[in-house]
Amino acid sequence: MQFPQQIHTDIISTVEFNCSGELLATGDKGGRVVIFQREQESKNRLLSRGEYNVYSTFQSHEPEFDYLKSLEIEEKINKIRWLPQQNAAHFLLSANDKTIKLWKISERDKRAEGYNLKDEDGRLRDQFRITTLRVPVLMPMDLMVEASPRRIFANAHTYHINSISVNSDYETYLSADDLRINLWHLEITDRSFNIVDIKPANMEELTEVITAAECHPHQCNAFVYSSSKGTIRLCDMRAAALCDRHSKFFEEPEDPSSRSFFSEIISSISDVKFSHSGRYMMTRDYLSVKVWDLNMENRPVETYQVHEYLRSKLCSLYENDCIFDKFECCWNGSDSAIMTGSYNNFFRMFDRNTRRDITLEASRENSKPRAMLKPRKVCTGGKRKKDEISVDSLDFNKKILHTAWHPKENVIAVAATNNLYIFQDKIN
């Protein structure tokens, strides 16, 4: 299933399933949030299982201008995070570079009729003509989905927000920019606690920046953040109010034989995600995905090469700035498989049990409803087989940076520039 969108502002910048997987939210460069809902009857009708239709669309952020710094603040949505559902309404956090908003998404299917002071068309009635008392009644109406901002968390980040993560206590969340991480209470908008600050006294001494941060799924005192130097720090908020000292430090020693001019750039971590179990975490750098055991800091327990064939192309990727692309990664519901994106609208899936991997392509040509996706292979040199694509003919403008996996089923969402593709496991 695909939802083609047209213009530059419609480039999808984040994709996120809610906790049940019944809703899927996307944010785009134009500051809009589009929510898709799974078809209700599809739970019984197997043929339409997994079909998502537009549920609500709203403008989350508008472009702003910081007059003190003479800076334009983009409306682009950097991250969306759902809160666990507590009642009939749904809540989500959306963030652009500077501001985080808490949105309530609720349904209305009844309206009040029979007002005393108003006619049915909404005009005020002449008070002198009102001689009887009418009790308004609730009448059924067409379903309306309303999105209303409940909280606005602003003015806490000097640099661009790259991560938000809801804590397992469901009362607090953290937000991270290049140099600082703040802890917020969901009910308090006018202050946050700065829990990590890596800004040096002299900015000329700056050697690394924070690239991603996430709360532990079960321990509300623990969180991790990754850096542009390829390191990950696990922090414990019980140790000190300012977590400038980490509890654990994860880093893989570099092989001196493979060192090059690009080593530092490609080792920068673009995403970090805890497994659902909380035992492992996954990091994505430019060429690979690594799985770390939280009990082992010196090296990852698993390493998966995403597009090793690009190692020989790093020079041209540096020249066209693609080497700075920030790919995300995600776990499936049982932590047995992982997924991340690549170029040419390819995305990669790795089975952790069998160590098998597959490359699939999200494109309009091969994504007819109910069609099987064919595995793709990239040829690096020599003779090219019939179904292979040459590394020289890959399209680096087509890239899959954002992916999401349904928390309970084999349904995945893949954002390919301005198209959203939803794929599901084949039904026998």
Which three-class secondary structure state does DSSP give residue 46?
Answer: helix
The single-letter code of the amino acid at 416 is A
Cα 364 to chain centroid distance, Å, stands at 23
Q: Are strands 377-379 and 388-390 parallel, antiparallel or unpaired?
A: parallel
pLDDT tens by residue, 231-281: 999 999 999 989 989 999 999 988 887 788 899 999 999 999 999 999 999
The single-letter code of the amino acid at 305 is Q
Cα 58 to chain centroid distance, Å, stands at 18
Residue written as token pair 């898709």 = 36
Residue written as token pair 């991603």 = 212
pLDDT means per 10 residues, the chain with 428 residues, are: 57 95 95 91 53 92 85 92 92 95 88 75 76 79 85 93 96 96 96 94 93 96 96 95 92 83 93 96 97 95 94 92 96 96 95 94 76 83 76 91 95 92 76
CA dist 84 → 17, 39, 78, 81, 239 (Å): 11, 20, 20, 10, 28
User: What pLDDT score was predicted for residue 41?
Assistant: 58
Residue written as token pair 């009708």 = 45
Architecture in CATH of 106-424:
7 Propeller (2.130)
Q: Are strands 411-416 and 419-424 parallel, antiparallel or unpaired?
A: antiparallel
DSSP string over 214-261: EE-SS-TTEEEEEETTS-EEEEETTT-SS--S-SEEE-PPP-GGG--T
CA dist 285 → 288, 308, 365 (Å): 6, 12, 30
Residues in the chain: 428
User: What pLDDT score was predicted for residue 98?
Assistant: 93
Residue written as token pair 């209700």 = 40
User: What pLDDT score was predicted for residue 42?
Assistant: 44
User: What pLDDT score was predicted for residue 165?
Assistant: 97
Cβ neighbours for 259, distance < 8 A, ≥ 6 positions apart: none
Q: How far apart are CA 284 and CA 400, in angstroms?
A: 13
DSSP string over 150-164: EEEE-S--SS---EE
